[in-house]
Amino acid sequence: MVEHVVIGCGIIGLYTVFGLLEKGIDPKTIAIIAEHHPGDLSINYASPVAGAYFSASADLKLLKYSNYTYQNLVKLETLLGPKCGLGHCTSTEILDDLEVESDPYLNAIGENIDDFEILSPEEIEIISKGSRCAIRYKAWIFNSPVLLEKLCKYYKSIGVAFQRTRLESIHDAFDSDTKVVFNCTGNGSRLLGGVEDEKVFPTRGQVVVIKGPHIDQCISRWNDEATYIIKRPDSASDEVILGGYYQPYQPKKDTADTYGFETESILKRTTEMFPDLLKKNPFGDKIEDLQILRVIAGARPCRECGVRIEKELIAPNKLVIHNYGASGNGYMCGLGMAHEAVSLLD
């Protein structure tokens, strides 16, 4: 008997199932309904292609979600066991828009992150000349396709049902036994009947995946461009994610075009930001020596005014709990978002 339905099989939907299990919900009463499942490739399914790491430079409004996720991901790691797509490394973030002396955000994020430090002006100058602020900390890193697959495999093993279908309306997720439907459809919430949230919009990203056995950390720079290097754990081919782009747009349906000029920009920006990307590359010290495994694009599920986590009675005996709008923060904030969404059952 399915009483709890989760629409969406991205990281937000899968975190939400974990939240239900933590609350003591019988897994045999849970079903995931989604058009796309792990292993699928679609511009409308961003989770498998996400670079995915814990970036401390999230919006202050998301801080409670990222703090919860940071502190509780160890539960997932323990549950799923080794090689589950979760790991740690040192992360350095160059924050060009912040001032060390005056920004309250720095103190707020440092309270809940391990090994957090604000770098001195001398250290910043070595890393990035002209920057005013940089931080370093112990970050969670994710192998997004591996984690998605491991979560689904575990859920299936304990009795969670999976249904592959495209819903035209949120009402279609209900049957006579359904107590609640969790709407974790991301960009789909713009067009899903009964939701049709016009505040939802996609933000395109493009990344370059390289073979980087010499990279053991993450480093990023945030200004008018997003430049980042992300070590991917549990990768047989030593994958490293180089990015990136944040481009609000309306994608063509079911296309994931990538562009050579953007690849060139990503390679230029990342190698300038972190020269060791080339200097320590075992395959050679020129950009053309980087071993590119693939170039991919995805559409992050964004929303004006931020995430939507609220319950709505869409008809008598039809309770919906919305949980979407994470933008590019799904992996780092989603466990906290799921915890809050599930708490609305109380």
Mean pLDDT of the chain: 92
Tell me the pairing of strands 161-164 and 134-142.
unpaired
Q: For residue 59, what pLDDT is reported? A: 73
Q: Are the C-beta atoms of residues 313 and 319 closer than 8 Å to each other?
A: yes
The pLDDT score that the predictor gives to residue 181 is 99
Smallest Cα–Cα separation from 183: which of 55, 1, 7?
Answer: 7
Express each pLDDT in 274-324 by its tens digit: 999 999 999 999 999 999 999 999 999 999 989 999 999 999 989 999 999
Domain ranges, residue 47: 4-343
pLDDT of res. 69: 96
Q: Is 269 annotated as a binding residue?
A: no
Cβ atoms of residues 122 and 131 within 8 Å: no
Percent of the chain whose pLDDT exceeds 90: 77
The helices-and-strands tally (H runs, E runs) of the chain is 8, 15
What is the bridge-based pairing of β-strands 30-34 and 4-7? parallel
Strand boundaries in the chain, DSSP class E: 4-7, 30-34, 86-95, 117-118, 134-142, 161-164, 180-183, 200-211, 217-222, 226-231, 239-243, 247-248, 291-303, 308-315, 318-324
**Of 12-16, 93-97, 102-106, 327-331, minimum mean pLDDT range:** 102-106
Q: In the prediction, which pLDDT does 250 show?
A: 59
Q: Is 132 annotated as a binding residue?
A: no
Class of residue 113 by CB neighbours under 10 A (exposed 0-12, middle 13-18, buried 19+)? buried
Please list, in sequence order, all residues whose beta carbon lies within 8 angstroms of the beta carbon of residue 304, skipping any fewer than 6 positions away. 199, 201
CATH number at residue 186: 3.30.9.10
pLDDT at position 312: 97
Domains of the chain: total: 1
> Residue 279 in 3-state DSSP?
helix
What pLDDT does residue 251 have? 52
What pLDDT, on a 0 to 100 scale, did the predictor assign at position 205? 92
Looking at residue 24, its pLDDT comes to 98
pLDDT tens column, 245-284: 988 875 555 567 889 999 999 999 999 999 999 999 999 9
Higher pLDDT pick, 242 / 61? 242
Cβ-contact 244, 51 below 8 angstroms: yes
Q: What percentage of the chain carries pLDDT values higher than 70?
A: 96
List the beta bridge partners of residue 221.
Answer: 94, 227
Asked if pLDDT for residue 99 goes beyond 80, the answer is no
Distance CA 7, CA 16 (A): 10
- What pLDDT, on the 0 to 100 scale, is given for residue 96? 81
Structure confidence at residue 342 (pLDDT): 99
Of the candidates 312, 318, 301, the one whose C-alpha atom is nearest the C-alpha of residue 13 is 301
Dihedral pair phi/psi, residue 343, rounded to 5°? -65, -20
Residue-wise pLDDT tens digits, 20-73: 999 999 999 999 999 999 999 888 899 998 988 888 755 778 999 999 999 999
Coil, strand, or helix at residue 106?
A: helix
- Rounded to whole angstroms, what are the CA distances from 17 to 29, 68, 338? 11, 16, 8
Give residue 103's pLDDT band: very low, low, confident or very high (50, 70, 90).
Answer: low
Which pLDDT score, from 0 to 100, does residue 199 have?
A: 96
Quick one: pLDDT at residue 133? 86
- Tens-place pLDDT, residues 42-53: 888 999 989 888
pLDDT at 1 exceeding the cut of 90: no
Task: Identify the pLDDT of residue 112.
Answer: 87
pLDDT, residue 131, reads: 80
Overall average pLDDT of the 236-242 stretch: 97
Q: For residue 301, what are the contacts with CB-CB under 8 A and spacing of at least 6? A: 46, 186, 187, 189, 200, 202, 324, 325, 326, 327, 330
CA 226, 94, 247: angle at the middle one, nearest 5?
10
- pLDDT at residue 113 in the model: 92
Alpha-carbon distance of 77 to 284, in angstroms, equals 35
| pLDDT given at position 148 | 98
- Annotated ligand binding at 328? The verdict is yes
Determine whether the annotation assigns residue 300 to a binding site.
Answer: yes
pTM of the predicted structure, to 2 decimals: 0.94
CA–CA dist 177, 2 (Å, integer): 6
Number of C-beta neighbours around residue 163 at 10 A: 15
Give CA–CA dist 325/302, Å, rounded.
5
